[in-house]
Amino acid sequence: MREMVAFGKKLKERQIQEWQGYYINYKLMKKRVKQYAQHIEQGTQDRQYVLKDFSQMLDNQIEKTVLFLLEQQGHLASRIVQLGDQQGDAQQEAEISKISEQREAYRTVGEDLLKLLYFIEINAVGLRKILKKFDKRFGYRFTDYYVKTRANHPYSQLQQVYKHVGIGAVVGALSRNLHELQDRQGSYLPIYDHPTLPLQDPVIDSIRAAMDRLTHSTNFLDFLGQHALIMQEELQLPAPSDQKVDDEKYHFMSLLLNLANTFLYMVNTYIIVPTADDYSMQLGAAPTVCGIVIGAMAVAQVFSSVYFSAWSNKSYFRPLVFSSIILFLGNAMYALAYDLNSIWILLIGRLCCGFGSARAVNRRYISDCVPLNIRMQASAGFVSASALGMACGPALAGLLQTNFKIYKITFNQDTLPGWVMMFAWLIYSIWLWISFVEPSREFEEDHTTSQSNADSSALEKGLRQPLMISSEDKKDEDADQDYDDSEEASEESHLPANSIGSAYRLLTPSVKVQLLIYFMLKYVMEILLSESSVITTYYFNWTTSTVAIFLAGLGLTVLPVNIIVGNYISNIFDDRQILLASEIMVLVGILSAFHVIIPYSELQYICSGLLMFVSAEVLEGINLSLLSRVMSSRLSRGTYNGGLLSTEAGTIARVIADATITLTGYMGVSRLLNMTLLPSLFICIGSIIATCYTYNSLY
């Protein structure tokens, strides 16, 4: 509590009293949201009136802030112009004292600019928080609507908040003039003639750090368009030193190694898919046992995700080393099972590979150790590495069509995936040992334990001071305090969940529905991929190379589909419309894949499989984007975070799907296709019903 109060006081001390009337009135808007909820419950106001009235209120608040911002930018620009005139005289006279005075004058302007940047940041955070609060009360359609309709409209002031072009011009003018005044061996070097010379000035460094934070804080389009599985922590008002902390933790080669681990693991997962049925038959099992062989890795990943997530609280290097060693051993056992003629060695090898899944560490490293200004790029790199690995795995298996022996060890299409991946993890382990840098954790005791538990709650209380306090509002503060305290305790607490049970209790109905959707799409995709070799061999007599080409082609659609959806479709349609349409298209793909009366053709299988896979990919991107917005901020960090819950939902879906393939195989390969599609059909219909019911009830 003392830390919470201290933070609130510190934030209050930073406010500029004479600017008090120009902050967005957060308290007024928060009370208005409460009134809307009461009026809707009483039936005195309808939803359309609420949306229109609140939109107009937001427009007025943003316009007030932006016009004041432009006015202050004009004052700063005028001061820089006046200093520029004085600077010419000082340089002609070459008096050191006057040059020093000029530099101090520019630094004073820079300090005032920092105050203005902080003013923008407070308003940007307040705007985001009130949008989130409105969404929690009435659903999240309003945020989508408001941002998309205001982001690029010529009459909207919202774009001034997150583009802040004028601020960039002021920063550029300050940097140039300070650089001109910087003494370098008796000469004044123009910045345009020597672009590589860095400007060593603490004011400019602070301004740049504030600009980076502000870009992250106000980039609403990125905030609404996240398609990565990495949960972002709830936006805070960081101290100027926070960016330096990020820079201290960040190491490019370590990030590259982290992404390489992601890529290799996905290759390891899918490289056996084209040959798993043949390998099972070589060891005396039924071809449908390939479901268990493929799914064994997912079974182990259910448990490894938890202990790797917990381990990443203390280290990143050691779990990555452990992961590469376990995967090296697992692939060796997988390859040796052929000569040992043991299906159990094969399964144990795949279990070991699953126990080496460090994807939880991969996500945590990006969310914890990558600076905010490149975190979205790193998250995109994580998704791209996963997609590329998914495509490269089957493609690589298609190239390993050979058969020879060295001593008594067999190298063929069944064992070579294990030998190749064993060698790959050996090389990776050496590279990891040489190049990975464990990020420093010295600051985390102070930063995480003292601030994470208190800052977020104090933030809104602190924001109430510069954003809301006025003589009229002060009268109502005591009456509203009990409501604020109870609401903030339930909604704004940032204490991470300490168990699966506590994490589950934080899930709202809409989050549960989206986890169900994630479960459904992973189940459908796993059924399609894992049984592809058995189905195509039975119906079409496809070779391993043909199956590999088909699977690689599916994997290569991941990035183009996400680019199209992210850049075009999501800007035209509401996310929930895309979500529901994608679910329906998955359903159509499932229905078209059934073998009913007419002879089953390659065209039917390829088209239905492509429709299912692409629709599931579109669904995954949109679903994760929505999930990252509605999931509690308490699930943004800690062992039991949102990324872990999402991964567990997807992994359990894969396990059940692979088990379904093996169990259904006992009925005969001729029934495998239809019998495995039936559960997919029912789960898909269930997710569509849940989606319609949940979102209709919200609105």
Q: Check whether 216 has a pLDDT greater than 60.
A: no
pLDDT-derived band at 184, boundaries 50, 70, 90: very low
Length in residues, the chain: 699
Q: Which ranges of 289-371 would DSSP assign to H, the alpha helix?
A: 290-311, 317-340, 343-355, 359-369
pLDDT recorded at residue 661: 92
Percent of the chain with pLDDT over 70: 68
pLDDT recorded at residue 187: 45
| pLDDT per position as a tens digit, 405-458 | 888 899 999 999 999 999 999 999 999 999 999 887 654 444 444 343 333 333
Region 514-524: mean pLDDT is 91
Structure tokens at 86: 């004085």
Among 139, 163, 138, 167, CA closest to 152: 163
pLDDT recorded at residue 481: 46
Region 227-252: mean pLDDT is 51
| pLDDT per position as a tens digit, 246-296 | 555 678 899 999 999 999 999 999 999 999 999 999 999 888 888 899 989
Contact 37, 137 (CB under 8 A): yes
Residue type, 131: L
Contact 234, 636 (CB under 8 A): yes
Distances, alpha carbon 444 to alpha carbons 7, 314, 316, 534, in Å: 18, 10, 14, 51
pLDDT-derived band at 324, boundaries 50, 70, 90: very high
- H helix or E strand, kind and range, residue 410: strand 409-411
Residue type, 531: E
| pLDDT per position as a tens digit, 631-642 | 666 666 666 766
Give the best-scoring range by mean pLDDT among 175-189, 233-247, 597-611. Answer: 597-611
Q: Name which residue leads in pLDDT, 239 or 327.
A: 327
Q: Name which residue leads in pLDDT, 260 or 71.
A: 260
Q: Check whether 165 has a pLDDT greater than 70.
A: no
Q: Name which residue leads in pLDDT, 373 or 282.
A: 282
pTM above 0.85, yes or no: no
Among 123, 424, 397, CA closest to 264: 424
Query: Looking at 129-143, 380-394, 406-420, which range is the least confident one?
Result: 129-143
Q: Report how far residue 392's alpha carbon sits from residue 385's, in angstroms, rounded to the nearest whole number.
A: 10
Contact 6, 55 (CB under 8 A): no
| pLDDT per position as a tens digit, 457-512 | 332 333 333 333 333 334 444 444 444 444 444 444 456 666 777 777 777 777 88
pLDDT-derived band at 186, boundaries 50, 70, 90: very low
In the DSSP assignment, the letter for residue 594 is -
Residue 569, CB half-sphere, CA atoms under 13 Å: how many? 18
Region 324-335: mean pLDDT is 95
Region 177-206: mean pLDDT is 55
Among 620, 605, 596, CA closest to 525: 620
pLDDT recorded at residue 331: 96
pLDDT recorded at residue 92: 54
Q: Name which residue leads in pLDDT, 235 or 33.
A: 33
Query: Looking at 50-64, 143-157, 387-401, which range is the least confident one?
Result: 143-157
pLDDT-derived band at 76, boundaries 50, 70, 90: confident
Q: Check whether 567 has a pLDDT greater than 70.
A: no
Question: Between the CA atoms of 348, 307, 386 and 518, what dihedral angle is there, to the nearest 10 degrees?
Answer: 100
Structure tokens at 504: 């589950």
Q: Check whether 354 has a pLDDT greater than 70.
A: yes
What is the phi/psi pair of residue 448, to 5°? -80, -50
Q: Check whether 647 has a pLDDT greater than 50.
A: yes
Q: Which long-range contacts (CB under 8 A, 24 or more apart) does 342-350 make?
A: 342/283, 343/280, 343/283, 343/284, 343/285, 343/289, 346/279, 346/280, 346/283, 346/293, 347/292, 347/293, 347/296, 349/418, 350/272, 350/293, 350/294, 350/296, 350/297, 350/300
Contact 496, 249 (CB under 8 A): no
Region 2-6: mean pLDDT is 38
pLDDT-derived band at 69, boundaries 50, 70, 90: confident
Contact 226, 628 (CB under 8 A): yes
Q: Report how far residue 642's alpha carbon sits from residue 233's, in angstroms, rounded to the nearest whole number.
A: 10
| Mean pLDDT across the chain | 76
pLDDT recorded at residue 528: 93
pLDDT-derived band at 153, boundaries 50, 70, 90: low
Q: Check whether 236 has a pLDDT greater than 60.
A: no
Question: CB neighbours (10 Å) of residue 649?
Answer: 18
